[in-house]
Structure 1
Amino acid sequence: MASIVSTPSKIKAWTYTEYGKSAEVLKLKSDVKVPQVKEDQVLIKVVAAALNPVDFKRMVGLFKASDPPLPVVAGYDVAGIVVKVGSKANKFKEGDEVYGNVNEFALDHPKQHGSLAEYTVVEEKLLALKPKNLSFAEAAGIPLAIETAYEGLERVGFKAGETILVLGGAGGVGTLVIQLAKQVYGASKVAATSSTAKLELLKSLGADVAIDYTKVKIEDLPEKFDVVYDAVGNSEEAVKAVKAVKEGGRVVTIYGEVTPPAILFFVTSKGSILEKLNPFLESGKVKPLIDPKGTFPFSQTLEAFSHLQTGRAIGKVVIYPIP
């Protein structure tokens, strides 16, 4: 396991040693050990990482029962460069530019050492080569959101010619559900909800109908849809979602309580999903969306979490560069 660079023994990483709000418990440590590379893993020099709501939900202790022991290095999404390869890993070589979600299961015993660090280790099966046309920052914002978007559409058997309503169309997952439904699955109509200021964005992503949820009640829409994808995930939205679906239609939600016939799922990360969708990213048919505030440098990760937690972020909140 020779390495193309000499890896430091101690690195900087955003770590929490107790549960609580990110602003209070997340600290930048400079003496974190580089995790050992197991035989099926690669060591990545992290160039960019993205934040996800699951990060701060874990931090406040919502999923303690299946969490690893503290301290935890936060972060799921990563884009970076392979610097060391495990003895049985043969998919990537040193120097490869890769991206992925470091946790195979979002909530079932995720890693103690996540992506908000200078280096992280990841099973090679969770990674794919970074699309050549995307920057590290753009690539970092894709994995967890696109895997969630794709898996939700698969779970409800979405197919060409069907109609779909996306609740929360301007968020990290919602922006990708719109694009996948249209570009990958061949939806006949995509409707999506957002606040007033984001309606034009929804149309630019491919939504045929952009609905202002501050003015229109979802349950009062005259048209019903084959599938409703609730990318917001609060119980109030989930109840509304069921009222917007055709008889015999399907509803999928990513978080919170569900009202039948809606189904709830937690994403399973797979590099094979990223590989399958890479051609759509490389052709520009599916585009990553970084929040208009731009990227946040590694030192401003707390500010980035603060912005994400307002619930007003558009697309993905990305940490870049990571020195």
Structure 2
Amino acid sequence: MSAVPQSASSPTETFTAGAKIPLKMKAWVYEDFGDVNVLRLDETVSVPEIRDDQVLIKVIAAALNPVDYKRRQGWFKATDSPFPIVPGYDVAGVVVKVGSKVKILKEGDEVYGDINEAGLNNPKQFGSLAEYTAVEEKLLAIKPANFDFPSAAGLPLAIETAYEGLERAGFSSGKSILVLGGAGGVGSHAIQLAKHVYGASKVAATSSTGKLELLKSLGADFAIDYTKENFEELPEKFDVVYDAVGLEEKAAKAVKEDGVVVAIVGPVSPPGFFFVLTADGAYLTKLAPFLENGKIKPLNDPKSPFPFSKVVDAFIYLETGRATGKVIIFPIP
């Protein structure tokens, strides 16, 4: 397994500028919380209207994240949007309409981003698993020219979460880090960012046996097989432990006395913190040079992409917890 190659856009990914925007679209929806059986493909969903600060995107590719199935299962129903819900946070596509207060983006721009600024608080009713979605300009960035749409779709939520966590932790050149769940979406980017952007002195990461070489290819100096070793018992401790899997108590045993644990799955005691991403297209723009020069590569699961008609299968696979990197949906009609 390795990071997905960057390739040129194929003809199936293009959208003709100036094409008429329909009134109705195909979208995956659910009208109650539950397992994958609540999902259904609806061909009569209204194309969302845009606000002044938004653009309408013709969706070319999307990606699934654990938050998508946790949301569908009702984990944060108290702060969710009303039914029917079109799921999907990550998007890559083409701008086909712009609001009156949009300052930079224009029709025809190829963009990508995480469409929900506050992932757990009032996420959009109409997400990215649809032919069109409306998104605030500030949440988007221009797609790197060397990435195709499926590769770009897998980046936003994961790489932004990895980046924000490292920033909040005060990570910097010369510091060491242990990434728990290094083969996942967030973990794989935390490895690459720590190594190639921040200049970490040492990057260690955990995975199962079959993914150790992948961790090394991403930039890990030390790959730990969690099925054979207890990372918290290692004599070496780290300046930062980035916990992307929910092992907060063990993570606290692997960090230096003056270090910090970054947690994205559940609460953690000091010296650590839990956070939920505040999505920002500026993160993607800031990291663009590292994406364009190949220092940071997207990591999409080998079973990807799943076609739009197989979204249920994609969710079933993601929910096994065995995915490597991101699960991509492409093409989207």
Q: TM-score range by the shorter chain?
A: over 0.9
Q: Which amino acid aligns with 1:16?
A: Y
24-33 or 159-168, which moves further after superposition? Answer: 24-33
Partner of 1:20: 34
1:311 maps to 2:321? yes
Alignment coverage as a number of residue pairs: 317
- Provide, for residues 282-312 of structure 1, a one-character-per-residue CA deviation record: whole Å limited to 9, x for no partner: 0000000110112000000111111111111
Percentage of identical aligned residues: 67
Q: Of 198, 218, 227, which aligns to 1:214?
A: 227
Contact 1:172–1:314 (CA under 8 A) maintained in structure 2? yes
Kindly report which structure 2 residues correspond to 1:40-189, keeping only aligned pairs within 5 A, or say none.
40-189=53-202
Paired residue for 1:239?
Answer: 249
How far does the alpha carbon of each residue in 1:188-240 deviate from its partner, in whole angstroms, 9 at most, with x for none? 100000000000000000000000000111221110000000011x2xx1110
Q: How does 1:200-211 map to 2 (within 5 A)?
A: 200-211=213-224
| Superposed CA RMSD | 0.8
Q: Which amino acid aligns with 1:44?
A: I
1:268 partner SS: coil
Q: How far apart, in 2, do the equivalents of 1:259 and 1:4 lie? A: 53
Q: Normalising by the residue count of structure 1, what TM-score does the alignment of the two structures yield?
A: 0.97
Q: CA deviation at 1:139?
A: 0.2
Cα distance in 1, alignment partners of residues 63 and 39 from structure 2: 15
Structure 2 distance, partners of 1:28, 1:90, is: 34
Moved over 4 A (4+): none
In the alignment, the residues of structure 2 paired with residue 221 and residue 74 of structure 1 have an alpha-carbon distance, to the nearest angstrom, of 41
The equivalent residue for 2:14 is: none
1:194 aligns with 2:207: yes
Match of 2:264 among 250, 254, 257: 254
TM-score (norm 2): 0.94
Conserved 8 A contact 2:232-2:253? yes
AA at the equivalent of 2:167: E
Q: For the residues of structure 1 that align with 2:267 and 2:196, how far apart are their CA atoms?
A: 30
Determine the C-alpha separation between the residues in 1 that align with 2:122 and 2:193: 29
Q: Secondary structure at the match of 2:205?
A: strand
AA matched with 1:15: V
SS in 1 for 2:287: helix
Question: After alignment, is 248-257 or 280-289 more displaced?
Answer: 248-257
Contact 2:304–2:329, Cα closer than 8 Å, also in 1 = no
One-letter amino acid of the counterpart of residue 103, structure 1: N
Aligned to 1:302: 312
Aligned-residue offset at 1:90: 2.0
Distance 2:145 2:45 in 1: 31
User: Is 1:269 paired with 2:269?
Assistant: no
Equivalent position SS for 2:204 = strand
The answer on 1:287 being equivalent to 2:297 is yes
Task: Report if aligned partners of 1:181, 1:187 keep a CA contact under 8 Å in 2.
Answer: yes
Q: How far apart, CA to CA, are the structure 1 residues paired with 2:51 and 2:231? A: 48
SS at match of 2:51: coil
Q: Is the 8 A contact 1:4 1:84 kept in 2?
A: no
Q: What SS class does the counterpart of residue 199 from structure 1 fall into? A: helix
Please say if 1:5 is aligned against 2:19.
yes
Which segments of 5 or more consecutive residues in structure 2 lack a partner in the other structure? 1-16
Structure 2 counterpart SS, 1:191: strand
Give per-residue Cα distances to partners, 1:128-181, cap 9 Å, x unaligned: 000000000000000000100000001110010000000000000000000000
AA in 1 matched with 2:165: G
Task: Give yes or no for contact 2:317–2:323 (8 Å, CA) kept in 1.
Answer: yes
SS in 2 for 1:293: coil
Tell me the CA shift for residue 259 of structure 1: 2.7
| Unmatched 5+ stretches in structure 1 | none
Deviates more, 1:256-265 or 1:215-224: 256-265
